[in-house]
Chains A and B, each alone.
Chain A
Amino acid sequence: MAQPADLLYSKEHEWIKLDGDSATIGITDYAQNALGDIVYVELPKVGATIAQFSNVGVIESVKAVSDLFTPISGEVVEVNAALDNDPAAVNREPYGGGWLLKIRPSDPSETKALLSAADYEKIATD
């Protein structure tokens, strides 16, 4: 699957979509494929303040526990509650229904440290 060009990416395989004063975060198709069947997602609480590249949760596949990092800083305004009952949505639609959380970015200039789709493509290869 090609990386959507309108998103920004982290080296830790998260994507972020900026939309005015809100940003949506998820993991990439490469990441979900590498993890395998995702069975549990643990996300931060709404209202929490999270710092760029810090550990904000975990994603668990059948075999492994992986840390989730936030691409930029901000305040958590929503988490994807549908994943409680359907964590496999992250496998099926990593860029759609499998989104993880929405934040209000505190410093939009942090996106300078992120990757374009073309640059991410270079590190997301087997």
Chain B
Amino acid sequence: MKRTALHDEHVRAGARMVPFADFEMPVQYSSILKEHDAVRNRAGLFDLSHMGQFWLRGDRVAEWADTLTINAVATMKPMQARYNIFCNDAGGALDDTIFYRLPDRWLLVVNAANAGKMWDHLNAFAPSSGVALDNQHGRAALVAMQGPRSVAMLQPHVDVDLASMRYYFCTEGNVNGVPAVIARTGYTGEDGFELFVEGERAPELWSALLRDCAAEGLEPCGLGARDVLRLEAGMPLYGHELTEEITPVQAGLNWALKLSKPEFIGRAALAGQRERDDYSRIVGLVMSGRAPAREGYPVMQDGRAVGEVRSGSIAPSVGNKNIGTALVAPEAATPGTTLGVEIRGTTHEAEVVPLPFYKRAQ
């Protein structure tokens, strides 16, 4: 089992460690609901060093990456970040990722569980010149501060102006004297920043932020809270809403699909699927009752199975209701439709709703 650079910090803080994508990761420090509350109302600090960080260099990176991804890479402005998905020929998702464009290089952040597969994929398609790949997975660290108080808490620790940074942009700077790529990105539905730093410098940065911002309510947060936060915000989690069998079109990510690009892996399959409009798709569900929907539970319509739950949780930011996503047949996917979720042999009522469940006040 691998460990992140912050492993000892987590253990010292009493975090509950669980295996996740070959890493020992903190699932919670105090309580998932308490950590969720910190992120929605103050700020939380996450260790995301298990995610894969690949550096891409060379004058052909953008043009090459555009042939492997569904969203546009070459049109990104310097210092811009953009969500993107790599697909297979059938349109299934190999991984969902974020590209960060720095002045002289690109950072590609991939899911921890897909890092090995994605590294092989990139190398298999790398041209003989113009693209150099550098795998920092397991060495580089990633610390995310997320929550409405992020700007106020982080600003005293950095040498760049955070308030003037735009959402989904990044900059290079120092956090507590530690060189970092500072990005205004995240996976919680709140404002916040992701700090890419060397693994060796991560513990000092982590402990300084927690110490200095504790009075303002910054709390270390685990993967448990992160999953509830992202689900409320309607963000897909690879392996749940997106898989090699569930395409970006099915996941409702058409906004990221740039068919204006002439050619990329999966283009024909995705274009055809979107055109036919006959595919099962990801919808949001709100349960009427108190029983939580869980991954794998059958979804029913008029006594007939029409799909299955892909994610589920109680949602403190959605009136403490039970929410979930499900992959359902097109005729069952219209918002307002009443469906049933089968839980231990009993059908529980659920309503199809548009995603996201939660949107922060601007």
Contact = CB atoms under 8 A, between A and B. Distances in A.
B360 interface: no
Given A62-B313, A62-B314, A36 B291 contact: no
Nearest to B228: A62
Contact of A39 (B27, B224, B314, B344): B314
Which of A37, A40, A60, A62 is most buried by chain B, counting CB atoms within 10 A of its CB?
A62
Contacts of A78: none
Contacts of A62: 32-33, 224, 228, 313-314
Given A62-B228, A62-B313, A63-B224, A36 B294 contact: no
Nearest to A84: B290
Contacts of A84: 290
A63 B291 contact: no
B31 interface: yes
B172 to A, nearest CB: 37
A40 B32 contact: no
Interface in B272-298: 290-292, 294
Interface residues of B, number: 15
A65 interface: yes
B28 interface: yes
Contact of A36 (B224, B290, B344): B224
Residues of A contacting B: mostly: strand
Residues of B contacting A: mostly: mixed
Contacts of B292: 39-40, 60, 65
A58 B228 CA distance: 21
Nearest to A41: B290
Interface in A57-81: 58, 60, 62-63, 65
B32 A63 contact: yes
A12 interface: no
B31 A37 contact: yes
Given A60-B292, A62-B224, A36 B31 contact: yes
B239 to A, nearest CB: 15
Nearest to B343: A42
Contacts of A39: 292, 314
Contacts of A60: 291-292
A53 B169 CA distance: 57
A58 B314 CA distance: 16
B28 A40 contact: no
A42 B345 CA distance: 13
Nearest to A60: B292
22 contacts: A36-B28, A36-B31, A36-B32, A36-B224, A37-B31, A37-B32, A39-B292, A40-B290, A40-B292, A40-B314, A42-B344, A58-B344, A60-B291, A62-B32, A62-B228, A62-B314, A63-B27, A63-B32, A63-B224, A65-B292, A65-B294, A84-B290
Given A37-B31, A40-B314, A42-B291, 15 more contacts: A36-B32, A37-B32, A37-B33, A39-B292, A39-B314, A40-B292, A60-B291, A60-B292, A62-B224, A62-B228, A63-B27, A63-B32, A63-B224, A65-B292, A65-B294
Q: Top 4 nearest A-B pairs by Cβ distance?
A: A39-B314, A62-B32, A37-B33, A37-B31
